[in-house]
Amino acid sequence: MQDRSLTRRTILASATVVAAGVTGVVGVTATPALAHNRDASLKKIIKEMSLEAKIGQLFVPYFYGTSATDPSADDREDNLRELGVATAAELITKYHVGGVIYFSGWANNIQNPRQVAELTNGVQKASLSLPTPIASLISIDQEHGANVRIGSGATQLPGAMALGAGRSLSDARTAGQISGIELAALGIHQNFAPVADVNVNPQNPIINVRSFGADPEAAGRMVAAQVKGYQSVGVVACAKHFPGHGDTAQDSHTGLPVITHTREEWDRIDAPPFRAAIAAGVDSIMTAHLQVPALDDSNEPATLSPKILQGVLRGELGFKGVIVTDALNMTGVRTKYGDDRVPVLALKAGVDQLLFPPNIDVAFNGVLAAVRSGEITVARLEESVLRILRLKDKVGLLSGSPYISQKEVDRVVGARKHQAIAARIADRTTTLLVNKGETLPLRRKQKKLLVVGASPAFPTDAARTSIPELTKVFGELGYTTTALATGRAPTAAQVDEAVAAAYGRDAVVVTTDNVGPTSAQRTLVARLLETGVPVIHLAVRNPYDIAQLPGVRASLVSYCWTEVELRAAARVIAGRTEPRGKLPVPIQRADDPTKVLFRSGHGLSYDD
């Protein structure tokens, strides 16, 4: 492949980025002449590709298993049932796919960094064995915070809303750099982050804390900072979900949301983060499966809308990079058309990458039939292939070796330096909302704690949950702690048990997760307050929980339940660090949502 594209040294300068102790590689901005020469080389590759190989480059499917060639018996069975092949290697060989996406949990792709590296090497070996040997662009959703795929062994960083509360562009960029450096060490060169949606709807079930906040301009600055962070170290960033998923109470995984913003409201609320991402040079943008009548009154979801993708995104906003669909298995894009037509219509609308088709054989052959019939021209197909190869070339996948060194994985992924920086960033995000009677920080004599409440599992490790983690951290800080996980829907018996356990304690730390007006978590908190024992409330996800909890005298938000955020919150509660975070969203009153309980920017310190 060396004669077909520019070398990695040409695409990526051997420069160094040092930001808060992070070292990486800086991408070079191509001159017009360099870009022309690069495209000429890439077009030669495309000319040599078969039609099937060109179509395959568009697809980014999932698969089951920790190995590309030797998955477990259960994973092999799942692959055969859903993909028609037994292994990831067979998937790549049969459909010439241009990339794959890794998932933890249900897909069983991720156990630990060393295993991920081996999986990557297996994927690349299969890709380089194709008739036209082109390395895979491996993707992942490693947003951090509430959406993490690689957990144990990798550095965990505060998620978007926590970074929004920290209000530091430097921290946002550094978080992107650290994440990008570790992903690149694992051979993952496309991260579907950052989220560019502006969360102006507190009832949003799918975006919420994945957003940087409710202020469009502030969110845009954070999005741009993260884009620069990822791409400065050779990882493709992806701003999502265009044209904006922040003002809906419906999840596009299960339905087709409608954004009712006027065109003026869209320009003012939804567009700024995407404009900022494009100005920052973002390499890819993901579509949303939702309707925006102000942008397209045809009722097509944005993923299938030429008016939105070609007219607005490419035409008005001037985006020239890769457009990738959100997952094509989601209900929001499957409401009107069959799985053979959805990828065809997406390509006709202007999409380049087709992510997570629910049936790869149906989707692939649907596109193949459309090209053979002339519905999609070969020229249109090659436009998308060229954009995808540009990305691969930019991150060095078309020159040199795409294989991963285990020594590099051990040296980089989860490095102590990275974890120390992550902890310092997290210390600037915890937000203190209420502190009546100077309930916080805990006093020296308050050594016996009850830690109780909702205990979401860490995204990649069901065995690790927030109540045991908080208990562990408080123990390390010198407290005697008792743990009692009551979940998001505590029973009457669990509430009684928690109340009984509170007596004799010096303080109670109660966690909540997504408290609604009828939530049993409200009962738990109210009953604990009745004991007279000092109660400290910690929202381990939504900052909006406090609106449902009248009478609380001390309340904090960590914005997520991952270890790095919980540890930061515990340090604040113990008085080891000051609360520094400021709300990036307003919180409305529960009894009258037209009135604001806490304004965006609210956040107490221990000097207040």
Sign of the alpha-carbon dihedral angle for 554, 557, 560, 565: negative
Rounded CA-CA distance 126/134 in Å is: 10
Which residues on adjacent β-strands are paired with residue 485? 453
CB 556 within 8 A of CB 430: yes
What is the enclosing helix (H) or strand (E) of 448?
strand 448-453
Of 170, 146, 174, 168, which is closest to residue 159 (Cα–Cα)?
Answer: 146
Query: Is 326 in the active site?
Result: yes
CA atoms within 13 A on the CB side of 474: 26
The residue annotated as part of the active site, out of 78, 141, 197, 326, is 326
Dist. CA 357–CA 333, nearest whole Å: 11
- What does the alpha-carbon distance between residue 390 and residue 57 come to, in Å, rounded to a whole number? 12
Cross-strand partners of 190: 139, 236
Longest Cα–Cα distance in the chain: 78
Residue 59's beta-bridge partner residues? 354
Q: Which of 253, 410, 461, 506 is catalytic?
A: 253
Strand partners of residue 258 = 291
Structure tokens at 492: 């009457």
Query: What is the rounded distance in angstroms from the CA atom of residue 434 to the CA atom of residue 553?
Result: 6
Distances in Å between the alpha carbon of 529 and those of 490, 507, 589? Answer: 16, 11, 20
Give 210: exposed, middle or buried? Use CB within 10 Å, 0-12, 13-18, 19+. buried
Measure the CA–CA gap between 300 and 289, rounded to whole angstroms: 9
The bridge status of strand 431-435 relative to strand 554-557 is: antiparallel
Residues in the chain: 608
Given a contact cutoff of 8 angstroms between Cβ atoms, the answer to whether 298 and 341 are in contact is: no
Tell me how far apart the alpha carbons of residues 76 and 67 are, in angstroms, rounded to a whole number: 10
Q: Is 296 a catalytic residue?
A: no
Cβ atoms of 173 and 226 closer than 8 Å: yes
* Cβ-based burial of 171 (10 A; exposed 0-12, middle 13-18, buried ≥19): buried
Say how far apart CA 601 and CA 582 lie, in whole Å.
5
Nearest to 82 by CA among 346, 365, 357: 357
Rounded to whole angstroms, the Cα distance separating 536 from 481 reads: 14
H helical segments located in 96-215: 113-127, 160-166, 169-185
d(CA 402, CA 126): 12
Phi, psi of 124 (to 5 degrees): -70, -35
Catalytic residues: 253, 326
